Amino acid sequence: MMEEEKKGKVWLVGAGPGDAGLFTLKGKAVLDQADVVVYDKLVGQGVLGMIPTAAELIFVGKVSGHHPVPQQEINQILLREALAGKRVVRLKGGDPFVFGRGGEELELLREHGISFEIVPGITSAVSVPAYNGIPVTHRDFVSSLHIITGHTKKKDEAEIDYEALVKLGGTFVFLMGISAMPKICQGLLNAGMEADMPAAVLERGTSAHQRRVVSDVSHLPEEAAKAGIQTPAIIVVGKVCALEKEFHWAEDRPLGGLKIALTRPQDRPSSLADKLSMLGAEILLMPTIETKEIADNQLLEEAIADIRRFDYVAFTSPVGVAGFFKKLREMKKDIRDLGNVQFAAIGSATKAAIEKMGILVDLMPSVYSGEALGQLLADRAALWGAKVGKKPEILIPRAKIGTDEVLRPLKEAEIRFTDIPVYDTVEVLEREQDAHGKLIDFASADVDYVAFTSASTVRGFVSSCGLTDLTGIKAVCIGEKTAEEAAKYGMELFVARAATIDSMVECFLGLEQA
C-alpha cells in the first residue's frame, strides 16, 4: 500500500495543432500542476509558453523521420518519473492517439501499475484544413473522411491500399506524408482516381505563417516543390479542397498572418495578448522580466500602520497595487483603515487594479507617464496647500529600481513623499533560464514584431534572445521611454500614440493597414 502511494501519475496530453487557442481547458489545467513535462518538437510555441516555470522539462525531440530519443526510451522516461512519485505530463502535438503513439507509451505504464489519464487534443487532420478554409466533410461533396499516416513504425513509407481508398471515396488526409507525396499521388492515380481531383498541401497549419498549395492530384507534388513546402505539413485530397477559395478566413483577420512576441512577465495576465489574439495574431509569450515581492518589507508595514498620516497613495503599476493590498491583508487591515486617503494612478491599467480593490481613483494624468503623474501630484499639492494651509504627504509604493521621473516634480515643489519599494523587477537572463530559456529559440521563431511594455522588458529581451545583431527587430513600444531603450540597440521603432494597451493594439492595426 505504501508503495502504491509513492507512485506518481502520467497524463498524455494533446497540445493540438499549434495555435495556443486550440489547447483544451483540461490540458491547460493538467499542465498547470505538472512536476515534469516531457514534450515534443511539434508542440506549438504558444503552448510551450504555458508550461509552469517550476516544472522540470524533458525534451524528446520527435519530428517526422528524425527521432533522437527512441520511442522505447521515451516510454522508460515516463515510467521512471512516475515511479519517483511525480505528476508527469507527456505533452504531444495534435492528439495522443491519432498517429501519436500514445498507445505504445501506455503499455509500459500499465504493466507497472502506473495510473494515467488521456487528455485528447485537436488533431491537425481536422483543424489544419479548417484554418485553410477546407471543410473535411461537406454533404454536397463527400460522405466520409479517412486519415492515413504517411509512414509507419517499421517503414519510412506506409503500405497503403490505394485501390480500396479510391473505391471508398471521400476526403483523404495524409499525416506525416510530405516526403512520400509523389508516391502517394501516383498511387491514387494508379488506383483510378481522376487526374483532376482537387488536392492540397498545408504547411504550418493554424500558425500565423501557414501556407497552402491547392492543385490537383496530378500536379500537387510539382506545385509543392515549386513553393518550397516543408514539414510540418499535411496532404488533403478530395473535392472539398476546391472550397478554399470561397471559405478561406484565417489570413483575412485584421492581424492574420502576424506573429508577435510579447515580453511581459509570465506570472502576469496579458490583456494585450488576448486582444491581439482575437484580431488574428499568433502570440509568442517570451517573458523577459519577472517581478519579485520584497520580502520582510518593514518599511511598507510601517507606512501602512501609520497610513492616515498620508494624504495620497500614488501607484505607478498594477504590481505595486497588488503588493500594497496584499500587505494590507497580511496586517489584518482593510479599506476601512485607510481613512480619507486619496488614490492616484499612473494610467488606466493601474487605475483598474485599484478599482478592483473597491476604491475609486482620484487622480490620473491624461498622459500615462511617471513625469505626468508626478507633475499632477505636485499641481494638486499646490491647490491642497492653498486650501488647507499645508502641503500634503504622499506615499509611493513602487518598484525597487524605479525611474526618478515621478519624484522630480515632487522634489522641485518641495512636497513630502515616502518612496517605498514593494517589488523588484528582475531580468530573466538566458543563463538563468536553464531549460525554460531553451524552450523557444527566438532566432528561429520567425517573429514579425516584438511588443515592449517597459524599458525593463527591452533590457530583458536583449539579455535573453540570443541575438548579437538587433537591427532587424521591429519593436512596438508602449511609450517614448521604452522606445528610447529599444533605440539603443538599433531596433526599428513603432511607438503607440498613448501609453495604453489599447493604443498598442491600434498601433499594430495601423502597421497592417499601412
By annotation, the residues acting in catalysis are 40, 62
Q: What is the Cα 446 distance to its own chain's centre? A: 15
Q: Which three cell numbers stand for residue 275?
A: 486582444
* Residue 102 to residues 146, 148, 219, 307, Cα–Cα distance (Å): 20, 17, 35, 59
Q: How far apart are CA 391 and CA 394, in angstroms?
A: 10
Largest interatomic CA distance in the chain: 97
Q: How far apart are CA 142 and CA 164, in angstroms?
A: 16
Q: What is the Cα 211 distance to its own chain's centre? A: 21
Name which of 319, 443, 432, 438 is nearest 51 in CA terms: 438
Name which of 439, 433, 450 is nearest 494 in CA terms: 450
Strand ordering across the sheet containing 259-262? 282-285, 259-262, 449-452, 474-477, 492-495
Give the type of residue at 514.
Answer: A
Name which of 288, 285, 272, 351 is nearest 318 in CA terms: 351
Say if CB 512 and CB 495 are below 8 A apart.
no
Q: How far apart are CA 442 and CA 448, in angstroms?
A: 11
Return the bridge partners of 85, or none.
none
Helices (H), 133-256: 162-168, 181-190, 220-227, 244-247
Q: How far apart are CA 206 and CA 283, in angstroms?
A: 12
Q: How far apart are CA 162 and CA 349, in angstroms?
A: 59
Name which of 146, 128, 124, 148 is nearest 137 in CA terms: 146
Q: How far apart are CA 248 and CA 133, in angstroms?
A: 4
Say if CB 64 and CB 70 are below 8 A apart.
no
Say if CB 173 and CB 136 are below 8 A apart.
yes
DSSP helix/strand/coil, 203: strand
Rg (CA), the chain: 28
Give the type of residue at 258.
Answer: L
Say if CB 262 and CB 452 are below 8 A apart.
no
CA 16, 18, 21, 26 torsion: positive or negative? positive
